[in-house]
């Protein structure tokens, strides 16, 4: 399992109507010297997942969540951006680093 993902089924049912709060979710453990370096990559991946979802939402599937729950097939069938591009873009953004110093 990857350390970042998109929480498409995150709803706030205390609101009326329920509020969709789907967002990228990242794992980061800054106090662990072994895991700390991965936090930046995790946050980037989660942000990219959120961005792609914002430009390619599944409104019909999400609107049926309060009554039927999230039906994965309905959610994915509304997508126009293929999964390989969605996950590929997130992986690319995760690893895209700006150079902090000039060579030489």
Residues 17/66, Cβ–Cβ less than 8 Å? yes
* Helix ranges restricted to H, 23-98: 39-55, 59-63, 65-68, 72-77, 83-95
pLDDT in tens, 35-93: 888 888 888 888 888 888 888 888 888 888 778 887 889 989 999 999 999 889 888 88
Among residues 90, 20, 77, the alpha carbon closest in space to that of 49 is found at: 90
| Per-residue confidence (pLDDT) for residue 8, from 0 to 100 | 67
pLDDT in tens, 24-34: 788 888 898 88
| Per-residue confidence (pLDDT) for residue 99, from 0 to 100 | 57
SS3 content of the chain, % helix, strand, coil (to 5): 45, 10, 45
Higher pLDDT, 10 or 39: 39
Entry pTM = 0.70
């Amino acid at each position: 399992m990857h350390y970042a993902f998109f929480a498409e089924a995150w709803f706030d049912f205390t609101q009326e109507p329920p509020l969709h709060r789907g967002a990228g979710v990242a794992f980061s453990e800054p106090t662990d010297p072994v895991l700390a370096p991965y936090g930046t990559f995790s946050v980037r991946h989660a942000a990219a997942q959120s961005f792609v979802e914002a430009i390619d939402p599944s409104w019909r599937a999400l609107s049926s969540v309060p009554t039927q729950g999230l039906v994965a097939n309905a959610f994915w069938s509304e997508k126009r951006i293929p999964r390989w591009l969605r996950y590929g873009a997130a992986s690319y953004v995760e690893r895209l680093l700006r150079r902090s110093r000039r060579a030489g």
